[in-house]
Amino acid sequence: MSMDSGTGHPTSGGLDKVGVVGGGLMGSGIAEVCARSGRDVIVAEATEAAADAARERIHKSLKRAADRGKLADPDAVLGRIRFVADLEELADRDLVVEAIVENEQAKTELFARLDEIVASPDAILASNTSSIPIMKLAVATSRPQQVMGIHFFNPVPVLSLVELVPSLMTSAETTEAARSFVETGLGKKAIDCQDRAGFVVNALLIPFILSAIRMFESGFASAEDIDEGLVRGAAHPQGPLALADLIGLDTTKAVAESLYEEFKEPLYAPPPLLARMVDAGLLGRKTGRGFYTYG
């Protein structure tokens, strides 16, 4: 892999001014890869404290990349990112990517606000949702032709896949601008998805994870043996229960609920154990305990 110099080189792929709403794991990763590609980035968070936390998260990630020899000037990259607690700061953006909590009401309310704030009629309003149909977000705006899903995968600086999800109303120009941004601008691989809950990856992945949870819940096998079986027997890089802990059990449950609401198939229904663990705050790596304990 070639080293990113971190210098302010001209960008390719268009959409030079990027806004990211939400500075959690996904949002900070999206902001980082956009800044590393030379773009001017604003990360909008709900509070000053959350904005500071997003800055620290990206700073640590850039330092890790520099320590591994993959980034020459992390300070230059961080210098291209502004952290704010006011959505109004996104008025001049060419692209705004929403990366907030996986909650339909919260997302639709945000898209209605972004529609009022982002000035350019050509700006793209995108969602990083992993399961909520894009049309539900698009109709909250006066520009549904400019709304689409651009779904990254965690960790964003490492994983190369991005799902492009136009709704029935998304224009071909919007989709192609997003494709150029993702592939030419960020150097990632885009796949095309229909606007159905879960898109491609999660529509396949979540039932697999839920099946592993049901197997564990029934006492059929231990968490360790389930994961070891898939790692050593099917060459998976990580077992399904460890993966659920990485994704976050709350996110896993939210995606499963969106899939079940859309398709009404039993394989998408969250198992009772998953619901109880989320109620207990046992969300996986981010809380230190899920199917495994993390020190």
What is the predicted pLDDT for the residue at 154? 87
Which DSSP category does 24 fall into? S
Structure tokens at 267: 């394989």
- Is 128 designated active site? no
Paired residues of 97 in beta bridges: 20, 126
Q: What is the domain extent for residue 210? A: 202-287
- Kindly report the CATH number assigned to the domain that includes residue 207: 1.10.1040.10
pLDDT band at 8 (very low <50, low <70, confident <90, very high): very low
- Same domain flag for 239 and 127: no
- Same domain flag for 44 and 171: yes
**From the candidates 28, 131, 151, 258, which is the catalytic residue?**
151
- Same domain flag for 39 and 149: yes
- Same domain flag for 173 and 239: no
Q: State how many domains the chain has.
A: 2
Distance CA 12, CA 24 (A): 26
What is the average pLDDT value for the chain, to the nearest integer? 94
Checking if the pLDDT of 233 tops 90, the result is yes
**From the candidates 32, 163, 167, 258, which is the catalytic residue?**
163
- Is 59 designated active site? no
**From the candidates 98, 202, 257, 258, which is the catalytic residue?**
202
pLDDT band at 95 (very low <50, low <70, confident <90, very high): very high
Other beta carbons less than 10 A from residue 281's beta carbon: 10
**From the candidates 130, 131, 167, 258, which is the catalytic residue?**
130
Mean pLDDT, residues 244-249 taken together: 95
What is the predicted pLDDT for the residue at 295? 86
- Same domain flag for 49 and 145: yes
Q: What are the backbone angles phi and psi of residue 293, rounded to the nearest 5°?
A: -105, 135
pLDDT band at 11 (very low <50, low <70, confident <90, very high): low
Q: CA 6: distance to chain centroid?
A: 23
Q: Does residue 4 fall inside a structural domain? A: no
Among 192, 218, 235, the domain boundary falls at 192
pLDDT band at 9 (very low <50, low <70, confident <90, very high): very low
- Same domain flag for 35 and 178: yes
Structure tokens at 44: 């909008």
**SS3 call for 4:** strand
The 124-127 sheet, strands edge to edge: 81-84, 40-44, 17-21, 95-98, 124-127, 147-152, 161-166, 189-192
Q: Does residue 227 fall inside a structural domain? A: yes
What is the predicted pLDDT for the residue at 65? 94
- Is 183 designated active site? no
Checking if the pLDDT of 168 tops 90, the result is yes
Checking if the pLDDT of 86 tops 60, the result is yes
Mean pLDDT, residues 133-162 taken together: 96
Mean pLDDT, residues 257-265 taken together: 94
Q: CA 112: distance to chain centroid?
A: 20
- Same domain flag for 134 and 236: no
Distance CA 37, CA 33 (A): 6
Checking if the pLDDT of 2 tops 70, the result is no
Distance CA 175, CA 294 (A): 40
Instruction: Output the DSSP codes for 249-263.
Output: HHHHHHHHHHHHHHH
What is the predicted pLDDT for the residue at 206? 97
Structure tokens at 8: 């302010």
- Same domain flag for 41 and 185: yes
Structure tokens at 193: 């998805």
69-79 residue pLDDT tens: 999 999 999 99
- Is 32 designated active site? no
- Same domain flag for 133 and 218: no
Among 192, 225, 256, the domain boundary falls at 192
Mean pLDDT, residues 46-53 taken together: 94
Checking if the pLDDT of 152 tops 70, the result is yes
Mean pLDDT, residues 105-132 taken together: 96
Other beta carbons less than 10 A from residue 168's beta carbon: 10
CB 43 within 8 A of CB 28: yes
Distance CA 139, CA 143 (A): 8
Strands (DSSP E) contained in 2-59 are: 17-21, 40-44
Other beta carbons less than 10 A from residue 21's beta carbon: 25
Checking if the pLDDT of 236 tops 80, the result is yes
Among 161, 192, 223, the domain boundary falls at 192
Distance CA 86, CA 282 (A): 31
Distance CA 257, CA 279 (A): 15
Other beta carbons less than 10 A from residue 154's beta carbon: 16
Q: What is the pTM for the complete model shown?
A: 0.90
Look at the chain and count its residues. 295
Other beta carbons less than 10 A from residue 145's beta carbon: 16
- Same domain flag for 70 and 23: yes
